[in-house]
Structures are given as structure tokens and as C-alpha cells.
A and B are shown apart, each in its own frame.
Chain A
Amino acid sequence: MTTKYIGKPASRVDGLEKVTGKARYSADFKVEGLTYGFIVSSSIAKGKITGIDSSRALALDGVLQVFTHENVRNLPWFKLRYTDLDAPSGTPFRPFYDNTIRFSMQPVALVIAETFELARYASSLIKVDYEEETHTSSLYQNISKSFKAPKGKIGYVPPKSRGNADAAYEDAAFKIQAEYKHSAEHHNPMELFSTTAIWDNEKLTVYDKTQGVSNCQFYIGNVFGLAYKDVRIISPYVGGAFGSGLRPQHQLFMAVLAALELKRPVKVGLTRQQMFSFGHRPATLQKLALSASPEGTLESVRHEAYSETSQFENYTEVIVNWSATMYACENVELKYELVKLDTFTPLDMRAPGAVTGVHAMESAMDELAYTLKMDPLIFRLKNYTDEDQVNEKPFSSKELVACYREGAEKFGWAARNVEPRSMRDGKNLVGWGVATAAWDANQMPSRAKALLSIDGKLVVSSGTSDIGTGTYTIMTQIAAEILGIAIENVTFKLGDTNLPLAPLEGGSWTAASVGSAVKTVCEDVRKILLKHAVKTKASPFYNYDPNKLQIDSGEIFDPNDSSKGISVTEIMRLAGVNSIEETSTSGPNPLVGRKYTMNSHAAVFAEVKVDEDLGTVDVTRVVCAVAAGKILNPKTARSQILGGVVWGISKALEEESKLDHQYGRFMNHNLSEYHVPVNKDINDIEVIFVEEKDDIVNPLGVKGVGEIGIIGVAGAIANAVFHATGVRVRNLPITMDKVLQIAEDDRNQVAV
């Protein structure tokens, strides 16, 4: 099919608004009489509040109220009312519920004042007394208290073992075992969380930063006892979220609470420091044992993961399962356990679980390849599988071999010397590494509305969000393509609970889910237009077979007869319709899901240069070859992969939330000390989208590209560092002290 818009590198339709500052983010909405909130965060991680003295704050002119657990009443005690759509099992955190401190930086008071500066100043005058209790914050020291991860969180699939991994491992000729550690990480989007809540005594309007307006509507309706229809959540632009906006954050509750109580509009934002007071990618400990036959057949995989969660909820993510589907192997033993700590509940962060588990698995695969003295890419190809052995199903499509081939060719992998420390560039040791990546290609039920007006303008809408990924753009492309009108005449609207229901923006499923709904609704409008074309007497196509007609650039025509044509607007006029409005639903086909496993795949190749004396690592080249079905927009898709690779470099080399166990508190809570790459850290990144046709996965044939780009990167870099130096650093981030093996507290890395 030749297309006009789908598959073309359209620039962002919202680009101009964003770069000119016209795009309004949640903190940018101004309303008459706005008041400002500032949250006071707890200084301890566990204990009781014994007293709060707000008198000095309240004495200031312009301070309207200080909310604390002592004066906030009439909130439901029933824990389920706080359970949002992305909540794991357990009891969600209930702000101002009682005097118990459950995590460091827990909101303990909310000051509302006439100005932001005053609110912030007043917050510094509030004195909170605590009775401290001993907290537990170290995952590694509490592994013995781990327990089996319970079900209960959307998207969490418990791991399934097969065969007898222990016996196979015992008997195998070649084997490795190793432990991998990952620190916690925080999402740290550029835009801080902020909410503006306006209560007009009947209806509540809320501007929020979120990845799901309907989730916030659900949460606010339940917690504050409001009918959903009276709660409108608006979130047109999101300055990055990466999963942090999947659950309602503290400021949403705070702003709504104050607006309802004070009957004034209220804006509450989190500070950068407070961005470390909620969910994060959990710290983990992973143990892997792999074995292979002398010919390089993978004989057993044993993958255990221990992950932190809070005392009040059981956050789960799919860490180990990937190790059971990425390669052919008869014997797989998986284990996934949680350890409760006095920290906030972890939260999905870009490619949750996979980033963590695949890094460990792909490092272990590399270790095993070295034991076998086999090229790591050949080893992977040798154990390639076209079957999902866990569910005993074929993949709907899997062009991973093409990823390996095209990626290797672009990278020049064939020239690689297998020996570690075999390449050099002056003082630098040079290494090349490879890793595989896989991610789910899911589709969720979604609704979309289309409104075609007599002037030929089409407005399509759905209550989804665009967290910077390009949702606005690709939905506009799909609508223009399907209906056959010029892209300039299409507007897409999102981020509003008044729009049709869409799923949370996560899991790389938005393109497939909302895209399919947009496709369906535009097909429906198209059918109506063609019906008018053949049923309207004055139409040149009166009594035609509508299936013979096409629409392009707003013109209805018969491809086999160029003598006739009529514009979309003209046919509407002749038919006497002012507008056509349709709402449609699209969802996954359960039959397909039963028969096929649907995944996207990638192969990542990385080159590093490691300063031999100083241990600093520079990632000089990355090639990321991706098989993700139909690419709707190569430009925005490439940006997604580039962002994923950059974050993968970050994860491999720099990123870490430093948790102080004296305080049970994350300490590097600013962007000066929470390191992510700067421009200078990023060199050459090549993105390849391999051809992958998939008619099964969904009507659009798309798999989503939001997460697949990050998953293999840390593994490829870790493997490249080994190839360069002969040192296997299994504890991320790979910092110079670990590379040089002069770090005092890194007992888990072993030189080969």
C-alpha cells in the first residue's frame, strides 16, 4: 500500500507550540484568585508525628491554611478508595491519614498562601516533632526476608519455570554464575509535577501532569466522594514522565483537598527534591546461572531477582520472565521475590523490569559465550528461537535475525577480535559488545471520536496523553491517511476526561491502542461520506458501488474513471449534513492473543573506549536495530529510540539514586548530583528499523517503540566494557572505581 502520511517522517504537529512557549503545561494555567500550596516533607523515614506547630506560618498575612493529619477529616478510611488504576496490591498511601510516617519525604503538611513565595517561606516555619522508629532501607541486607511476589498489578505476569535447570546446570560442560546489582533510579522528567484545581461548588476542574487523565478522575472521584462526571482532568502537554505520571502523585491530592476546603483555586507543585518522594525504579539483586553444551547450546537458565517494595504495597514488574523467552532453552528456573523497605512504593519506569532483567541476562549470556570461546553474536544466533517456549506459541512476527544482521553490518561487528583487551586507541582500551532486547507489543481497548465539519476540518480526539512521544503527531497522520484528507485539516485532541476513554499512556501500547481506535473511527466517517456520495442524487457517484470509490486530499474519486470527482465538503453540502460525528471503540482481538505471542525486538551494538589508567568509559558508538512492526513515523520513532539509547547509556554508566541508610532517604535529590548524560557523553547513535510486517498484532501492524530502545543498551555497554578491559562490572552504574577495581564497597565484581 502506498501511503501519504502513515510511515512518513512528519514533524511534530505540536512542535511550533512547544518551541514558542505557547504549549501550556500543568503549571502554566492561570486562573483568577489562584492560591499556592507548598508541601512540607517528613525528615524521617519511619515513626510517628508527635506534634505539628503551624502557628508561626498561620500568623503570616496571606497564609490561608495549613493542612495536616490533625485537621484533615472527612476523608475515607477505606483503603480501596485510594486504589488507582495502576496501583499494585496493598494499601495505597493515604496523605494526612494519620500520624504515621511510612517513608522519608512523606508529605506531612500543606501550606496554602496567596503567593508561592509566601507559601514556601511559611512552610519553613512549620515545626514537626517526630518519634523516630528504626527504619529498614537496605535491600541487600534484607534479602533473607524476601517473599514471593504476589499478583495484583496490571501487566505483571508471574514467572513460569520449565524442565530442570539445576540438574542441567550440574551436568553441563560450560557454565557461569553471577550476581548483578541495580540501584534505585528516579524518573526525573524535566517538568516537575504540578496541579491546579478549581472548584466551582458543583464541578471540579483539574489541570494535572499525568499519563492518564481518567486514572486521576477515578482517584479524585473516589477519594473525595465526587461523581466522576463532576471531575474533569485536563492535561494537554506533559514535559516527560517516563512512567512517573502513571499514578496520581502527591500534589494532585493536595491541590484538590485545598481547593475543596478553601473554595479557592489552588496550585500545588513538587520541588525537584520532592520528585524523590514517590515512586522509583526499584533497587534489585539478581542471581543468574547459565550453562551450555560444548557446541554452544544453551542448556539451562536460572534467574532469580530480589526487588524492593514499600511496606504498604507490593510493587511487581516483569524482571526475570524475559530470560525464559529470549532464547531457546529446555531448562529454565525463575524466581522473583520482594523485600519490604521503609521507602515509597516503586513505580514503572520506562521498560520496567526488562531494563533490569535483560541487562543481567545479556551480561550472563556474554559471560557464557566467553567461557565457550564463542563470538557472543554467534552464540545468540545459535540459541535463537521462533517460539515463545513459556506459552508454547509462535510469535506474531519476529525479525530479530534481521536486527542482528543489519545491526552487525552497520557496526562492522565482523571485524571484531573475540579476545578482551585486544583493541586499543592510545591510552584507551576499545571494546565492542552486543545485546538483545525484547518488549511486549500490547493493545488495550480504546475509544476515539471524529468530528468532520462542513468546512472540511476534522477533529479527532481521545483521552490519551502525549508525554513527548509524539502521540499528537501520529494520531493526526493516521486520521489524515484513513479519511483521505490533507494533514493540515486534521487536529487531534487529547488529555481531557471530556474526551473518549483511553488507557493509561504506558507500556508502549498507545500507538497500537489509540491508533487503532482512531483508524476505526475514521473508517466509520469515511463510510458515511461514501454513503452520501452514492445516495445523494446530485452526486456524480449516485448509485455507485461505494467500495469502488476512494478519498484523497479531500476529494472523492473513482480510480478507474478520472472524469468525475467531488470534494468531501461538497458532498456534505449536497447531502445536507453540517457535520459527521462518530465515536468508535477498538480493542485487542482475544483470539489472536491466545494463538500468538506479540513482542518487539532489538539488537544493540556498542563501542566503548575505556581510559586504561583512569577507568572512565566513553560510549563512542551505538547501533540499535529495531523490529517493531510498522513504523508510523520514522522521525518520531527514531527520536524514541535515540532517547532510549541515551537513557540506556545513562543507566549503564551514570544513573543512581543514592539512598542513605542512616536516614532512609535519597540524598542526591537534585539534577546537579543525580547524573544523567550531558551532550558531551553522547556520540554516534545509529537507529535502524528493520522491515517487519505483522498483520496479526493489530489492524495497524504497529508494536510501539517507546521502550524497546532502552532495554538492550546497558547489557551491550557492560559487555563492551568487558571486551575492552577484561573486567566484568556487574553492579550498575559502571563507574571508574569499579572498572579499575579500586572501589572498596564492590565485592561482587570479579575479574576474569
Chain B
Amino acid sequence: MNSFSYNKVTEVAEAVADLTGHANARFIAGGTNLLDLMKENVARPDHLTDINKLALTAIEETEDGGLSLGALATNADTAWNELVERKYPLLSQAILAGASPQLRNMATNGGNLFQRTRCYYFYDTATACNKREPGSGCSAINGINRIHAILGTSEHCIATHPSDMCVALAALDAKVNVTGPYGDRVIEFRDFHRLPGDTPHLDNNVQDGELVTSIELPPSNFTQHFHYLKVRERQSYAFALVSVAAALELDGNTIKDIRLALGGVAHKPWRDCSCEEAFIGQEATEANFRALAEMILADAKGYGSNTFKIELAKRAIVRAFSEALKNN
């Protein structure tokens, strides 16, 4: 591990200021991802700003009837929070599908957004990886890519964003509040993470030095028909091969509103609003869900070991909506 300086801050402004003056400073929250990356020599910060003491752990209702999730509330506290469970049960389900209880007790909501891909090559400095070392090449395209992306890939990177929580946040139209050297701003969730394009080293659109303070959920009516389905090779403690956040608002059996976001298939939680819109007013039937699945995966592309994900994702979408229909 590189030597680095370390400072524990208590105020948001102090946190932002603490980063300046270092070539490669990072915030550290739960550390569940950053420390692993440092041990593998993938991340080599020269300074760590410990933000765990910031007063950003609140989970509270917003004026418009939505909910604000503090960036430093843990994944566990968020998933089991009474308001979250009641108003956004899809989010609870998604968080609890991730990692393990021990990790969720440490992991923070802010850190979850920034967790990096689990691509094997990204973690192994002996191999070429454009995300780790821009320009070195992508080993996964012709390598072991079972866990890799089928949507929105580029010739430079086919990594996925591994989060479960973020898939639900995408489906629920969350917004991310950030503050930084240039002031405060709000990032729509769909604009938060990036596609790899020719800059795969950039996972998201947060600027250097910016701090996420909270995640905001707008009011929504997906408390009845929702389901987070995670398909993976073991029943816990594994990242999604494909995950589906599905939610419905029904009028009888007619779809009044619908949300669909996919995890494990792209460099960001995958959502396509035009697909959703096409099914508003339609009947909630298995055939329609299959049609929706075909539509959202129309441009999917496999790389060999991960090609099965295209069909798997379609089946998972149908299953997730079928499960969502059962809820009441």
C-alpha cells in the first residue's frame, strides 16, 4: 500500500476543502470498496479524507412527499428504515439483495454510487485495462467476460456497474445532491453514471472534489407492484449476472405507470424511458412484458461468455413483472 495522509473531517465544507492541495485525494466512507482497490494497487490515493463523521446520515421525508437519503447512512440502515420500507420497498429489496450483512453495515449510500466495476482485469494490475490504465486496452473483450455488459458497451470497455441499490434508484427517478468547490448541484440519476465510450476510466459525471450529500427520491406510487430480481450463481454474496427492478402502477389490469431498470448488463443501471412509455395503457400480461423485454434488449450485444445474458435478461424481466403483479 502506498503511504498516504489521512484526515477525519466533521463539516461538509471542511471535507470539500480537505481534498484540495493533493494530487490524488479521495473521500473514504465505509471503505468496503476503496480499501480493496488500494490493497490491489488499483487505487493509490495520496490522501484520504474520512467523511464518516459528517452529519449526513439522516433519512427523512422531503417537502414534496419524497424521501431524502443521507449519503453517509449505511446501506443496512437505509434498507431497514421504516420510511424506505413503506414508501420505496423496491429500494429496500434491491439493497438487501446486495453484498452481505457485514458489508451493508459498513457500506454507505454515497459509496455505493461510486463503487467500481468487478471486472477481473480491472482488479489485476498484470493485465491491460482501459478503465484502470487508459489506452492499455481491454482484456475482457476477448477474455473472460461472463460477468460483462451487453448494452451500451464500447470497443474500449465492456464493464458493468455492479450496484444493486443503483438499479432501484434508476427505476425510481432518484436525484443526487452534490456539493463541491464550485457549489451545489443536482444530478438526475440517469445522468449520474456514464457509458464507457472512449473514456472508460470515468464511471460517472461527478467532478473531482465533489461530495455527494444526499440522494432524493421523488414521490411515487410503486408500493404495491414492485419486484427486484437478482439472478446470480449463488443465492447471496455474489454480484448480479442480471438484475431487474420492476414496478407497476395499475388501473385494473391496465398499466398506468411502469418502471424497468436493469443491473449487471451495462456500465450504468440501464433504463430506457421510451420503452416504458410504449407500454403505458397496455394490459399487464406476460406477453406484453416479453415484448417490453425484447424492446429494451433490442440492441444488446454479447461477447461470447456473456451472450447468454441477453436471453436471461429477457426472462428475468418477465419474471420480475410477474412477481410484481402478485404483490398487493
Contact = CB atoms under 8 A, between A and B. Distances in A.
Interface stretch (B57-65, B76-84, B167-175, B311-319): B311-319
Contact of A614 (B139, B146, B231, B239): B231
A744 B126 CA distance: 28
A426 to B, nearest CB: 11
Interface in B49-87: none
B282 interface: no
Contacts of B236: 678-681
A667 B144 contact: yes
Nearest to B143: A660
A678 B305 contact: no
B121 A124 contact: no
B112 to A, nearest CB: 16
Contact of B41 (A124, A660, A665): A124
Contacts of A41: 126
Contact of A745 (B304, B312, B318, B319): B304
A19 B305 CA distance: 42
A612 to B, nearest CB: 10
B312 A737 contact: yes
Given A121-B3, A614-B316, A672 B118 contact: yes
Contacts of A653: 233-234
Contacts of A117: 1
A673 B312 CA distance: 20
Given A658-B144, A662-B139, A665-B127, A736 B231 contact: yes
B124 interface: yes
User: Chain B binding site: helix, strand, loop or mixed by DSSP?
Assistant: loop
Contacts of A614: 231, 312, 315-316, 319
A658 B304 CA distance: 14
A44 B311 CA distance: 36
Nearest to B307: A744
A677 interface: yes
A669 to B, nearest CB: 7
Interface in B137-151: 139, 142-144, 146-147
Contacts of B233: 653-654, 675, 733, 735-736
Contact of B120 (A120, A667, A678): A667
B96 to A, nearest CB: 12
User: Chain A binding site: helix, strand, loop or mixed by DSSP?
Assistant: loop
Interface string B1-28: 1110000000000000000000000000
A385 interface: no
Q: How big is the A interface, by class?
A: 35 or more
A494 to B, nearest CB: 33
Nearest to B139: A662
B292 to A, nearest CB: 16
A117 B2 CA distance: 9
Interface in B110-148: 118, 120-121, 123-127, 139, 142-144, 146-147
Contacts of A44: 126
A42 to B, nearest CB: 8
Interface string A49-83: 00000000000000000000000000000000000
18 contacts: A41-B126, A43-B125, A44-B126, A104-B126, A124-B41, A614-B319, A618-B235, A660-B127, A665-B127, A667-B144, A672-B118, A675-B233, A678-B234, A678-B237, A680-B236, A736-B231, A740-B308, A744-B302
Interface of B: 1-3, 40-41, 118, 120-121, 123-127, 139, 142-144, 146-147, 231, 233-239, 241, 302, 304-305, 307-308, 311-312, 315-316, 318-319
Given A658-B120, A672-B239, A735-B233, 20 more contacts: A41-B126, A124-B2, A273-B40, A614-B315, A658-B144, A660-B120, A663-B126, A663-B127, A663-B139, A665-B127, A667-B124, A668-B120, A681-B234, A736-B233, A736-B241, A736-B308, A740-B315, A742-B311, A744-B304, A744-B307
